[in-house]
């Protein structure tokens, strides 16, 4: 699932502009951690991407690396890494802003996710699909229709709190 169809852009933008709360560490996977890993870290671990694109986000130059097919990590259909983040120290174009992992079926089932990242925030749905949210860690997991298997995992900077429930 693409970011535009997933977690609202404003969550990523607010977290990016305000920075992660002190003492919180972003959820990570495969040696990548939003707000800490760099282009060099990702290149050293996974090599050159299958595809690369550049765009402006809020007036800043960003880049996106996509690993798929033979270049995707083991057990993963696609890995998307977005670089370019505004920190308290200024804009850092080589720092990971967020990344999306689209695992192969049965790689991350509900039990594995809970064992790895703990109990999620209250269960939600987005677009009719079950969603596990770990706001304070910056991890959002979209599950299959049965609610048992991850189809997309979105890693970003830690979020302060979930948005209020809509009425």
Are 85 and 16 within 8 A, CB to CB? yes
Please report which confidence band the pLDDT of residue 127 belongs to, taking 50, 70 and 90 as the band edges: confident
H-type alpha helices, the chain: 9-18, 39-46, 110-117
Please report which confidence band the pLDDT of residue 23 belongs to, taking 50, 70 and 90 as the band edges: very low
Are 42 and 96 within 8 A, CB to CB? yes
82: β partners? 64, 98
pLDDT of 79-112, one tens digit each? 999 999 998 899 999 999 999 999 999 999 999 9
């Amino acid at each position: 699932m693409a970011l535009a169809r997933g977690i609202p852009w404003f969550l990523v933008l607010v977290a990016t502009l305000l920075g992660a709360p002190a003492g919180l560490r972003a959820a990570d996977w495969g040696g990548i951690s939003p707000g800490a890993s760099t282009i060099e870290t990702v290149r050293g671990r996974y090599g050159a991407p299958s595809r690369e694109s550049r765009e402006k986000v809020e007036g800043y130059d960003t880049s996106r690396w996509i690993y798929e097919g033979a270049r995707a990590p083991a057990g993963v259909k696609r890995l998307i890494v977005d670089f370019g983040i505004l920190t308290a120290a200024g804009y850092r174009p080589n720092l990971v802003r967020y990344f999306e992992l689209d695992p192969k079926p049965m790689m991350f089932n509900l039990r594995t996710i809970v064992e790895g990242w703990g109990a999620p925030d209250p269960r939600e749905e987005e677009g009719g699909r079950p969603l596990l949210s770990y706001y304070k860690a910056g991890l959002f997991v979209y599950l299959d229709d049965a609610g048992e298997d991850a189809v997309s995992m979105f890693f970003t900077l830690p979020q302060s709190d979930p948005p209020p429930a809509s009425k």
